[in-house]
Amino acid sequence: MSPEIINEYSRSLNVPVYDVGPTNTLKFGSALRLVQETSEQHLNVMHAGYETMKKTAGLVFFIISTRVHIFHFPGNGEPITIKTHPRGRGGAQLYRDFKFYDAKGDLLLDVMQTTVLADAVTHKVQRPQALKQFGFYPEDIVEPENRMERFSVPDGLPLLGVRRVFYSDLDANGHMNNSVYGDIVWDFLPPDVRRKAHTIQINYLREVNEGKDLEISGEKIGGKFFLRGDCDGSVRFTASAKS
């Protein structure tokens, strides 16, 4: 497989009307869905898409964390280009960048995402070397200072509400799709934080299944607003928003 195919994938589209919200701009959760779709398109070009990996090797990718730098959300029908490229690896985590550009080439959204390779049945994390059977392997090491920020959200934050997981929230793995967490984070951020947020990070800690209730708590600590979702006594996700 040529390095050009592996190194970068680009796609262009017009922001669909069903992906914009009350401000007539791309919704945060919809941006994460475009990220997921773009990644899958690139992997399909590399003959390592979801169905292929699961069927031939019993492997899937699980998203661990997503960080979005927000410069400007594109509007309804606006032409955008999304470019993605694998950045490298840090331990078992694989880093990938996504950059959203407008028609003039100005950067709209800068997304970094980490994933792990896992057994499709047991969900046990696998070594990145397993990707070699598909003709590629992330040789580059992401330096510690360039990796995803680590943070924890303390217990005892004010309860903001409860979000039940419905059937329509589920993905092909049978648990809530990662992009839905983007909708939840956006819904539960206070309006003033939502309007001014320029960096949002979501950490996906444990899966959530249909019929479960996520207890969403959050509070501003220092210069960031922190959120966490608890279910059945364990933390399922944490998030931070910096304005």
Provide the CA 234 distance to its chain's centre, in angstroms. Answer: 21
> What does the DSSP 8-state code read for residue 118?
E
What is the chain's mean pLDDT, rounded? 96
CATH of 159-242, one of 3.30.70.3270, 3.40.50.1820, 3.30.70.100, 3.10.129.10: 3.10.129.10
Strands 234-242 and 224-231: antiparallel
Mean pLDDT within 200-216: 97
Mean pLDDT, rounded, for 22-40: 98
Q: Give the pLDDT band (50/70/90) at residue 34.
A: very high
Strand, coil or helix: what is 241?
strand
* Beta-strand pair 107-119/59-70: antiparallel
Which alpha helices (H) appear in the chain, and where do they start and end? 3-7, 28-45, 50-57, 178-188, 191-196
Is this model's pTM higher than 0.85 or not? yes
| CA atoms of 74 and 19, how far apart (whole Å) | 11
pLDDT score, position 1: 66
Fold of 3-146: Thiol Ester Dehydrase; Chain A (3.10.129)
Q: What is the model's pLDDT at position 5?
A: 83
Instruction: Determine the Cα–Cα distance for residues 180 and 168; give it in Å rounded to an integer.
Output: 10
Report how far Cα 100 is from the mean position of its chain's Cα atoms: 14
pLDDT, residue 6, reads: 84
Look at residue 4 in the predicted model and tell me its pLDDT: 83
Rounded average pLDDT over 220-224? 94
Query: What mean pLDDT do residues 212-241 have?
Result: 97
Domains 3-146 and 159-242 share a fold: yes
Q: What tens digit of pLDDT does each residue of 45-99 get? A: 999 999 999 999 999 999 999 999 999 999 999 999 999 999 999 999 999 999 9
Is it the case that residue 144 has pLDDT exceeding 80? Answer: yes
Write the CB contacts of 6 (distance below 8 Å, at least 6 apart in sequence).
46, 86, 136
Q: In the prediction, which pLDDT does 217 show?
A: 98
Does the structure show a pLDDT above 70 at 231? yes
The domain locations on the chain are: 3-146, 159-242
Local structure of residue 223 (DSSP, 8 states): T
Q: Note the pLDDT tens digit of each residue in 175-203.
A: 999 999 999 999 999 999 999 999 999 99
Biggest CA-to-CA distance, the chain: 52
